[in-house]
Amino acid sequence: MEIAFSRAEAQRNSGNLEAAIQGYRSTVEMESSHNLAGQARMWTGHLLLRLGREEEALEVYGAYLDEFPDGRRADEAAYWWGRTLIETGSELEGREVL
């Protein structure tokens, strides 16, 4: 898991965002409850937002909250989920999340 995460980090640091997203997704698939998987989900969402793929980012943040509503990164996921909802036109729902 650490190797997969490190490879995804290297891809992100080199600017290869698509490869980084795939690497982070692979990390999550290995063991979704691992700490690095949570971090990988957050990076996946952030990179998707950077690429203008808001709907996919919403799915990432929402899936994290569905699986770990009280997880270590629940506040971060809720913030980005709510903010993205607002930015994509779902202001009322986004404000409720925030």
Q: What pLDDT score was predicted for residue 53?
A: 98
Decide if 41 contacts 77 (C-beta within 8 A): yes
Q: How far apart are CA 81 and CA 72, in angstroms?
A: 15
Residue 91: pLDDT band (50, 70, 90) is: very high
For 51-59, what is the mean pLDDT?
Answer: 97
- Please tell me whether the overall predicted TM-score, pTM, comes out greater than 0.75 for this model: yes
CA distance 46 to 12: 11
